[in-house]
Amino acid sequence: MKYPALLPAVEVLAQLDQFDAVIDVRSPSEFALDHIPGAINCPVLDDAQRVTVGTMYKQQSAFEARKTGAALVARNIALAIEQHFADMPKDWKPLVYCWRGGNRSGSLSHVLARIGWPAIQLDGGYKAYRRCVSESLEQLPTGLHFRTICGTTGSGKSRLLAYLENAGAQVLDLEQLAAHRGSVLGGLPTEPQPTQKMFESRLWQALRGFSSERVVYVESESKKIGDLRVPETLMACMRASPCIRLQTDTADRVGLLIEDYPHLVTDTTLLVKQLSHLTPLHGHERIDAWQALAESGEVGALVETLLLEHYDPAYLRSIERNYRGYRDARLLELAGIRENDFAAAASALIADEGGDLAGRGDSLLESEH
């Protein structure tokens, strides 16, 4: 093969794990919105330089813009080689891509190939990658065997997923990928949500790594997690899958939520502000009472009230309407919220996987009906 080689996105993404590095040469702001999972950002033009060259192209001429751009690109490529690539061996195989046209990625991949590295350039760039991701998200979920873990708020669904993953199970943790816990109080104060496109890239990366020979555990979610939308095909597969209903005592649920939302416990102002978003659902009188509990430090009482008066009724209405396997869900009762309780629950599910796929899994998780 002659290098740099220009390969189509479908071919490149099928062998993505075979590259030693994936290099995104777009500007930092483009990279921040979304990029191929695992890519590093080595911009041949940074954000300010792109504006400069673009302005020259519009106000002066394409020729003047190309001259200025070429000098900037050459300096940036030299810097990237010195800082990032100088120690790479001769057989180091990078994949290089830009937005679409190939001018930026072509510049770097040409230099890398002239040095002697077998550089591959992604034909169509990020735009082609996005098309492949969108198409894959319509296909990948249909070939997988999902088991949806249901349970009222605070029952420990996310924590059980973590124990399942640690025990070697296949787990799709949508809330982790979306950086949100899926409720009005679910935003993470130290981590903003990714863009929709980056969320979909994370989903694509996770789904393509799953085996169709094994179960994939996922938590019951609504169509939106914070500001992000779950792709329709994935949502449909989750809602059509068999369900596991996790049951946890109310006192334990309160304890779990206080552990999981420490920022709301310590930041009364934030908690009061978040509660105000529920006013259209519950009216000022009830919200005032809840906010008073927050301001007086009665967090346990507030959490229990929220569970019984807000979260539980809403969850039960939604789950029965949207997850058709919920009525016949297998019941998994959590004995407590200690580490060994979650580990035991995870072990029981994993031990039952083979029989579950074959339709013989009721011995460990008794059916409710």
Kind plus residue range of the DSSP H or E element containing 139: helix 125-139
| Type of residue at 279 | T
Q: Which of 247, 309, 300 is nearest to 281 (CA)?
A: 309
| Type of residue at 340 | N
Give the dihedral sign, CA 211/237/159/269.
positive
| Type of residue at 348 | A
**Cα–Cα distance, 282 to 298 (Å, whole number):** 20
Q: Which of 253, 248, 226 is nearest to 307 (CA)?
A: 253
Question: Degrees (nearest 5) of the Cα angle 28, 189, 228?
Answer: 65
Strand (E) positions, the chain? 5-7, 21-24, 40-41, 94-97, 120-122, 145-150, 170-172, 215-219, 224-225, 228-229, 243-247, 330-333
Q: What are the tokens at 244?
A: 């596991």
CB 364 within 8 A of CB 351: yes
- The reply to whether omega before 4 is within 30° of 0 (cis) is yes
CB 33 within 8 A of CB 198: yes
**Cα–Cα distance, 249 to 251 (Å, whole number):** 6
**Catalytic sites, residue numbers:** 98
Give residue for tokens 């981590």.
Answer: 191
Give the dihedral sign, CA 217/219/223/224.
negative
**Cα–Cα distance, 158 to 154 (Å, whole number):** 9
